[in-house]
Every structure is written in structure tokens, then in C-alpha cells.
């Protein structure tokens, strides 16, 4: 095989003499729960610019259904929540990180409630539910199954009320601007202004995950791994990229968008059945439908293979209709649009790519190895989740890490007393001419390849095949200079896919969401450790 194609340092050419400049103390890239939490905190002492690739509320947070895992019940404890998180993480959790985030969670959620977030209540008390891997009901929710939407809109309202925060929508951040091991901002493309240079004192990446590299995913179109790719090109260290979590249950109807059927459906009593109508989870795990997500996803896949069927089913017909409809109004609406009455019919489901557990390696202050650059939320790897994220810990982590990144960015600026001093920069992408390329076809082929060869089940032959195909596509895509987001997204997806596959090949064991059929056992002797990746020539 030919030499591996290294990504260019910058995807486009730009010149500081001719490109418009924008100045802000803190740049936040991403507008989900982590990004907006960071912006709100940083804006207490600094000017902040939030950049959203699409509309400000188009992100993974807005699509989150289940809820927030948080210790707010008198019967629950931080110790119990930490234990459940570590047990799910199968030996790779950073215990200090998990405990710190979980301990801070109640304060942040109470603050969110004080800001006006309306979580579901009964008799004026918060309603708690249970999800897979949790031994105690600690999930709070909003509007039944629209928790993320409520959180997102609450934070957006605060952002709009802040005099220190500006927001650019429909703005694609292409690359970070770095010099002497520090980040000074980013080069971006604005839908109306074209290319711009954003100069900052601190930059916070909160771009979310990369589910779109897979054919089957719960993630919206914007989740193409841009933050991971731009950080890698700039020289940031990435960790645990092999650990991609697959949500066990997404609505499966051929031709329809994959819609998440939240884990709380099983928490409320939903039963998984195979093609023959048989309940199967009790034979795979003592917690049955409420086993950790990796177990449920792999069990569903086995049942699909045994019955030679494209999906399994969730059965909620035994739950009283009134409770079912009020508890899951969005799921009821979506299913009804396909002629499925959830009170009478089985819901067809199968696993889909859902959450990137790995990401940009950060310390306890959310700092990366690049000075003045932070990462928080799904794009970051705090070590909290280990090899398998516990359900509803993602919104919690985003809320807490965004807040803490905003705080430390402020402290860093105040301590260093840095000035916003742009410098001359002329970058040439040294690209070959654009030949005729069907970007949509390459994108679809990549997504299918990743689903087939680097999905729920993996082995050396398939991972090697994926590596070779990605390398071939990279040779004639990564050397091009595009002028639109679709081209940049494909370049980012190719890079992120390559990092996922190479990490998956290195980890010769099965652990959590990483399941190797050729290495089916967990190997604590050799692999109770993390895989770190860093570009050799940033």
C-alpha cells in the first residue's frame, strides 16, 4: 500500500492582508449545551463570539431525548452515580474526572432550572426515571422526550440576553490559527461575508460528535467531526477514537431518517422482541433491557443475525395508553407519521451510531495540549466515559465542562493579560486542481464503508479494508482546495474516519463499545490503557 496521506495543515489558502478580521476575547465554536454554557460563563468578564455551523439550535443537544443524569433525589448519592459510570466504562474511566463532573452536576442543573428550564414534575416534584446501566432512577426529563430542546432553548435565551455575546450562524470554522504552540483564533467561512479571520485570546471547541461518518446514525447532518479534524490538523492530541457508541434503538423504516427511540422507553418498561416475537435480552444480561448500551446493541445485532432480519422491535403495548402518549409525545408523533400507533403496534428498531466517546484530550480544566485552546462536551475526551458512556451522562458532561471551560478561559485571559494582536499570516494550501469529483457519492460510500467495516462489530480484515479505501479516497480528496462546506466536511469526515479505524485496528481486544470478533475478550494485561493520536508535523 502507498504511503499514508497526511492531512494538510490548512484546508484553504488565506492572506491576513486581504481577509476581513473579526476580534473577540473568547471564541466558542459550537452552539450545543457545552458551547453555550461556556459562552454564558465566559461572557461574565469577556466579549464572546459563538459560531454555529447551521442555525444556533441545530446540533446534537437539540435532538437529545432522554434526559440529564443528575443526583437530585434524596435516596441517590454522588458515590452511587460515580460507581454506575465507572462500571459502564469497563476499566478505562478517569475516576477523578467522573467524580468531579458528577459532583458539580447538581449545581449546574439547579442553575439551569433557576434560568427557567422546565423539567417534568409530578405533585410539584421532579420526576426521575431509569436508564440502562443506572441502578437508581436519576434521569430528569423535559416535555416527556424533548429534554435537549428545552435545555438548548433555555441557554439560547440567556445568550441572546447577554450584551457580551455575539452569535454568527451559518458560519463554518475551517481551521484554527496557531503559532508557537498557541491558538490565536480561526479562519472561517461566513455565508454572507465569505472567508474571515477571527482573532481571540482563548478558543473553545464545542462542535459535538461525528455520527455522520456512519450510514446509520441518530446525529443531525451537522455532526461531521469538524472540531476533531481541525484540532488534529493544528497538533492537538486525540484520545480513545476507537470508542464510538452505538445507540441500541433507532426507528428503522427503509428510506426514513433514523429517529432515536430514547433509552427511557426501556426505562419505562419497553421490551425488546425479535422477529419471532420473543423477548431476548434476559438471556444476554441480568439487567435485560436496562443493560449497558454496548451490551444491548451487540445483543440486538446477534438477534438480527440469528433471525436473518434487518431489525428487532420495542414492545410498549402493555403500558397504559394515556401514560405512553403523555410520556413520549414526540416519539408518538414520529411513529404515527409512518402509520405506527405505539400503543397498539410494535416499533421497529436497530442500532445506530450515536456518540463519540473519544475526542480531543483535555485536562481537568478542559485545556488541550495547545495553549489557549479548550475543548468541552462531546468533542472532548475528559476520560469520564471510559469505554462505554452511561446513558444521559452526555448532557450532564456538556453542562459542567462548558461551564468550567468558560471559567478557566476567563482566568487564563486575566492572568496573562493578553492583548488581541493579529499578526501577518499567509497560508497556501498547496492544492492540486479540482478534477471532477462526485462528492456526494464519495460521502455516501464512506458512510457505508464505516458502517460495514468499523461499526458495532470489527475485525482485522474489515478494518484493513476500510483503512485502504479511506487512504485511496484521501489521496484525491485531501489534496484539493474546496470553497464550500460540503467539500470541507468530506475532508474532515475522511480524516476522522481514518483516525477511528486506525485506533480500532490498534486495540486488539473487545472492551465496551469496541467489539472485535477476532479478539472477543477484554485484555486488561495489555490494553487497560488509552490510545493517543497526534499529528507528527502540525
Neighbours of 75 (CB within 10 A): 10
The DSSP letter of residue 511 is B
Query: How far apart (Å, rounded) are the C-alpha atoms in residues 501 and 522?
Result: 19
Phi and psi angles of residue 272, each rounded to the nearest 5 degrees, phi first: -90, 130
Neighbours of 73 (CB within 10 A): 14
Closest CA to 511 of 358, 374, 407: 358
Closest CA to 105 of 400, 408, 378, 407: 400
User: How far is it between the farthest Cα atoms of the chain?
Assistant: 68
Closest CA to 517 of 479, 476, 463, 451: 463
Task: List the catalytic residue out of 293, 350, 367, 458.
Answer: 293
Q: What is the layout of strands, in order, in the sheet containing 259-260?
A: 259-260, 244-251, 347-356, 312-315, 271-273
Do 217 and 258 form a contact (C-beta atoms < 8 A)? Answer: yes
Q: What is the DSSP string of 232-274?
A: HHHT--EE-TT-EEEEEEEE--TTS--EE--THHHHTT-EEE-
Residue 389 falls in the annotated catalytic set: no
Contacts of 495 by beta carbon, 8 Å cutoff, 6+ apart: 7, 225, 228, 229, 232, 233, 474, 478
Closest CA to 490 of 505, 500, 480: 480
By annotation, the residues acting in catalysis are 293
Amino acid at each position: 500500500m502507498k504511503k499514508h496521506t497526511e492531512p494538510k495543515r490548512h484546508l484553504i489558502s488565506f492572506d491576513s492582508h486581504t481577509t476581513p478580521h473579526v476580534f473577540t476575547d473568547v471564541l466558542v465554536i459550537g452552539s450545543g449545551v457545552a458551547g453555550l454554557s461556556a459562552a454564558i460563563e465566559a461572557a461574565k468578564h469577556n466579549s464572546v463570539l459563538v459560531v454555529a455551523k447551521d442555525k444556533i439550535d441545530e446540533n446534537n443537544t437539540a435532538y437529545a431525548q432522554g434526559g440529564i443524569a443528575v443526583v437530585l433525589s434524596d435516596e441517590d448519592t454522588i458515590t452511587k452515580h460515580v460507581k454506575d459510570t465507572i462500571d459502564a466504562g469497563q476499566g478505562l474511566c478517569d475516576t477523578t474526572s467522573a467524580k468531579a463532573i458528577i459532583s458539580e452536576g447538581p449545581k449546574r442543573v439547579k442553575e439551569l432550572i433557576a434560568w427557567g428550564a422546565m423539567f417534568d414534575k409530578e405533585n410539584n416534584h421532579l420526576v426521575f426515571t431509569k436508564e440502562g446501566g443506572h441502578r437508581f432512577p436519576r434521569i430528569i426529563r423535559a416535555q416527556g422526550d424533548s429534554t435537549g430542546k428545552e435545555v438548548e432553548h433555555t441557554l439560547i435565551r440567556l445568550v441572546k440576553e447577554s450584551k457580551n455575546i455575539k452569535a454568527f450562524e451559518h458560519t463554518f470554522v475551517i481551521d484554527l490559527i496557531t503559532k508557537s504552540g498557541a491558538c490565536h483564533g480561526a479562519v472561517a467561512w461566513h455565508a454572507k461575508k465569505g472567508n474571515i479571520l477571527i482573532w481571540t485570546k482563548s478558543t473553545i471547541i464545542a462542535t459535538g460528535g461525528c455520527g455522520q461518518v456512519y450510514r446509520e446514525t441518530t446525529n443531525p447532518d451537522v455532526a461531521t467531526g469538524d472540531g476533531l479534524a481541525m484540532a488534529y490538523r493544528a497538533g492537538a492530541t486525540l484520545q480513545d477514537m476507537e470508542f464510538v457508541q452505538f445507540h441500541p434503538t433507532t426507528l428503522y423504516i427503509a428510506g426514513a431518517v433514523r429517529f432515536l427511540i430514547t433509552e427511557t422507553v426501556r426505562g419505562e418498561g419497553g421490551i425488546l422482541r425479535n422477529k419471532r416475537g420473543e423477548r431476548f435480552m434476559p438471556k444476554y444480561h441480568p439487567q435485560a433491557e436496562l443493560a449497558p448500551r454496548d451490551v444491548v446493541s451487540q445483543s440486538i445485532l446477534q438477534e438480527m443475525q440469528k433471525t436473518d432480519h434487518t431489525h428487532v422491535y420495542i414492545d410498549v403495548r402493555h403500558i397504559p395508553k394515556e401514560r405512553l402518549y403523555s410520556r413520549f409525545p414526540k416519539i408518538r408523533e414520529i411513529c404515527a407519521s409512518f402509520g405506527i400507533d405505539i400503543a397498539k403496534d410494535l416499533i421497529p428498531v436497530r442500532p445506530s451510531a450515536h456518540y463519540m466517546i473519544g475526542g480531543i484530550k483535555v485536562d481537568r480544566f478542559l485545556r488541550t495540549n495547545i495553549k489557549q485552546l479548550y475543548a468541552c462536551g462531546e468533542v472532548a475526551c475528559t476520560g469520564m466515559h471510559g469505554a462505554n458512556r452511561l446513558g444521559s451522562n452526555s448532557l450532564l458532561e456538556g453542562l459542567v465542562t462548558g461551564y468550567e471551560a468558560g471559567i478557566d478561559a476567563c482566568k487564563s485571559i486575566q492572568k496573562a493579560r493578553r492583548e488581541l494582536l493579529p499578526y501577518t499570516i499567509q497560508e497556501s494550501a498547496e492544492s492540486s486542481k479540482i478534477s471532477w469529483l462526485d462528492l456526494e457519492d464519495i460521502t455516501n460510500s464512506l458512510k457505508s464503508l464505516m458502517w460495514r467495516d468499523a461499526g458495532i462489530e470489527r475485525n482485522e480484515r474489515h478494518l484493513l479494508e476500510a483503512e485502504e479505501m479511506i487512504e485511496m479516497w484521501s489521496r484525491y480528496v485531501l489534496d484539493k482546495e474546496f470553497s464550500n462546506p460540503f467539500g470541507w466536511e468530506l475532508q474532515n469526515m475522511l480524516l476522522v474516519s481514518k483516525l477511528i479505524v486506525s485506533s480500532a485496528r490498534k486495540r486488539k481486544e473487545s472492551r465496551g463499545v469496541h467489539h472485535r470478533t477476532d479478539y472477543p475478550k477484554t485484555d486488561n494485561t495489555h490494553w487497560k490503557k488509552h490510545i493517543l493520536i497526534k499529528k507528527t508535523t502540525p
